Amino acid sequence: MSHTKVSSKIVQFIEKAGQSIPDPIIIFIYFFFFSFILTIFIGGLTFDTQSADGSTITHTIKNMADSEHVVWLFDNALVKNWLAFGGGVLGVILIVMLGVGVAEYSGLFATLIKKLGNRLPEKLLIPSLVFLGIMSSIATDAGYLILIPLAGLLFAGLGKHPIIGMAAAFAGVSAGFSANLIPATPVDVIIGMNAKIFAESQGVPFTTTDGTALVPATMHYFFILVSTFLLVALGTWVTNKFVVPRYANDEYEVPAEMNLDDFAVKPEESRGLKFALWGLLASLAIVVFMAMGPLASFTDSNGNTVTPFTNNIILMITLVFIITGGAYGYGARTFGSLMDIIQSMIKQSNTMGYIMVLTFFCYNFLGLLGYSGLGTYITYLGASFLQALGLQQFPIPLIIGFILTTAIINLFVGGLTSKWMLLGPIFVPMLYQVNPEMTPDLVAAAYRVADSSTNIITPMMVYSGVVLAFMRKYKPQLTFGDMIVTMLPYSITFLVFWTALLIGFFAFGIPLGF
């Protein structure tokens, strides 16, 4: 049998397996009850992990069938485990979508797409989307909620299958979350500061192999800088090699509010763009004022730096969309009153029913996972497996083993920070003790590669269902399995070549950052 036929059969198997995967809502309902029942059998099981200060923490898995835990499930189902989950991530999703709704229903996005489609060379579309997705991590979750649906609109406006553009953007936003051209992003600070705590609390020097002190926020900058260009190239190649052929001749639906019959920019639309420019400038002026004034950073009584503007960046972005979209609508005569803006928000809200149902089951499952101790136990098992491989004395296989273990754990336990808080205290000191070349910055970089690469193929990532909802706008019958099959080539390619890049930095002694 030829290599081509074997590859074709593998792809067909993956597609069939993917299509058999239920809707994410069904998945989380199954997961919830499976986890609940599992705690009945292993409730009371204890295991030890290491804390950031080197002390031992004993964990006990709760039997969720006990009356007090059943009460907890019901008491927290609506607020803590749904509306307030992850610091109110559902609220972030909803408020951004309201702002996007104003810009979308005013016609601003459609007009911008016409302008962009007439000017941007076709060869630059896909790499531009991957690059913008990677860079969007500086605005935390904005890439998921803004860039991915915009990519779909752009491709639909150009007469191309929207999922092609959305897949490229999704790969950049999620799989490329740990790359960037800008130093000291929120991810850099979170990973770096905690790595320093994990190391110093257990007597591990927070330095490079030559003794140079590490700076937490920039200790990976050279690596993520090179990673940005690598991932853009890889993302573009995967899109053209796998995604374009998959969807090039596939049918899709165009949203009713997007008229593609006339791709020329009309005079009233040009007028709307001028108003939108003034609206953008005005909204940015407001944002700058807020950043330098009421929301400026300050040092609290405990000496900690508080950053109100960064903490509210999503709200600021939403404000920009509302003002700019409203200004366009006024100039283009698609909005005649304030009530028209409100109606655009209402229309957008009507499309978010699936997201509301999805997040209810997803976040309650994740809440159960965290409260019962099952999430910590899964991480503990993964860490124990890596230790059992016996690769401590072989740096490169050890790096690969750590990356693969973290990538697999990421399929079952979401949250970059939560996994790092569990894995970091174990592996930062352990790997250094068995081999001094395994410095804190190298271990942290390996974690970032693994965590980012498998984000796009797991339902545990909190935005996976949201992205699926965006894609279903153009292809209602799309399943979660279809989305996994679409994104799997990105995940595998990024994981392999990104790991190779990290090993290259290590093998040739290239500093990861400054």
pLDDT bracket for residue 69 (50, 70, 90)? very high
DSSP 8-state class, residue 312: T
Q: Which residue has the higher pLDDT, 122 or 479?
A: 479
Rounded mean pLDDT of 219-235?
A: 96
* Alpha helix (H) residue ranges in 293-332: 308-311, 313-332
Q: Of the ranges 292-296, 415-419, 461-465, which one carries the lowest mean pLDDT score?
A: 415-419
pLDDT for the residue numbered 3: 47
Q: Which residue has the higher pLDDT, 7 or 240?
A: 240
pLDDT for the residue numbered 86: 67
Residue 92 has pLDDT above 90, yes or no: no
Q: Which domain holds residue 168?
A: 34-507
Q: Give the residue carrying structure tokens 């192999």.
A: 209
Residue 333 has pLDDT above 60, yes or no: yes
User: In total, how many domains does the chain have?
Assistant: 1
Q: With 0-12 CB in 10 A as exposed, 13-18 as middle and 19+ as buried, what is 9?
A: exposed
Residue 354 has pLDDT above 70, yes or no: yes
Residues shown for the chain:
514
- Domain assignment present for residue 496? The answer is yes
Contact 200, 213 (CB under 8 A): no
Q: Which residue has the higher pLDDT, 333 or 51?
A: 333
Tell me how far apart the alpha carbons of residues 495 and 455 are, in angstroms, rounded to a whole number.
11
* Mean pLDDT comparison of 236-240, 346-350, 356-360, highest-scoring range: 236-240
pLDDT bracket for residue 386 (50, 70, 90)? low
Ramachandran area for residue 59 (φ above 0: left; ψ -120 to 50: alpha; else beta): beta
Contact 72, 371 (CB under 8 A): yes
Tell me how far apart the alpha carbons of residues 457 and 467 are, in angstroms, rounded to a whole number.
11
> Which of 443, 442, 399, 401 is CA-nearest to residue 425?
443
Rounded mean pLDDT of 55-76?
A: 94
E-strand spans in 278-363? 298-299, 305-306
- Domain assignment present for residue 125? The answer is yes
Q: Name the percent of the chain lying above pLDDT 90.
A: 41
Residue 190 has pLDDT above 80, yes or no: no
Residue 22 has pLDDT above 90, yes or no: no
pLDDT bracket for residue 68 (50, 70, 90)? very high
Q: Name the percent of the chain lying above pLDDT 70.
A: 88
- Domain assignment present for residue 141? The answer is yes
Q: Which residue has the higher pLDDT, 116 or 288?
A: 288
- Domain assignment present for residue 201? The answer is yes
The rounded mean pLDDT for the chain is: 85
pLDDT for the residue numbered 343: 92
DSSP 8-state class, residue 213: B
Task: Please name every residue paired with 173 in a beta bridge, in sequence order, or none if there are none.
Answer: none
Spacing of C-alpha 336 from chain mean position: 37
Spacing of C-alpha 272 from chain mean position: 33
pLDDT for the residue numbered 12: 62
Residue 463 has pLDDT above 60, yes or no: yes
Rounded mean pLDDT of 206-223?
A: 91
Rounded mean pLDDT of 182-209?
A: 82
426-458 pLDDT, tens digit per residue, is: 788 777 877 888 899 999 999 999 999 998 898
Q: Which residue has the higher pLDDT, 31 or 488?
A: 488
- Domain assignment present for residue 120? The answer is yes
pLDDT bracket for residue 16 (50, 70, 90)? low
Tell me how far apart the alpha carbons of residues 326 and 434 are, in angstroms, rounded to a whole number.
60
Residue 41 has pLDDT above 70, yes or no: yes
Q: Of the ranges 49-53, 69-73, 221-225, 326-330, which one carries the lowest mean pLDDT score?
A: 49-53
pLDDT for the residue numbered 13: 65
* Mean pLDDT comparison of 79-88, 167-176, 233-242, 455-464, highest-scoring range: 233-242
Q: Which residue has the higher pLDDT, 226 or 25?
A: 226
Residue 7 has pLDDT above 50, yes or no: no
Tell me how far apart the alpha carbons of residues 288 and 324 are, in angstroms, rounded to a whole number.
15
Tell me how far apart the alpha carbons of residues 428 and 445 are, in angstroms, rounded to a whole number.
11
Q: Which residue has the higher pLDDT, 464 or 497?
A: 497
- Domain assignment present for residue 107? The answer is yes
pLDDT for the residue numbered 136: 79
96-114 pLDDT, tens digit per residue, is: 778 888 988 898 877 876 7
Q: With 0-12 CB in 10 A as exposed, 13-18 as middle and 19+ as buried, what is 178?
A: buried
- Domain assignment present for residue 422? The answer is yes
Residue 340 has pLDDT above 90, yes or no: yes
- Domain assignment present for residue 446? The answer is yes
Residue 315 has pLDDT above 90, yes or no: no
Q: Of the ranges 38-52, 101-115, 500-514, which one carries the lowest mean pLDDT score?
A: 101-115
Spacing of C-alpha 242 from chain mean position: 22
Tell me how far apart the alpha carbons of residues 139 and 50 are, in angstroms, rounded to a whole number.
32
Q: Give the residue carrying structure tokens 């304030």.
A: 338
> To 5 degrees, how large is the angle CA 274–CA 275–CA 276?
90
Give the amino acid at 306. Answer: V
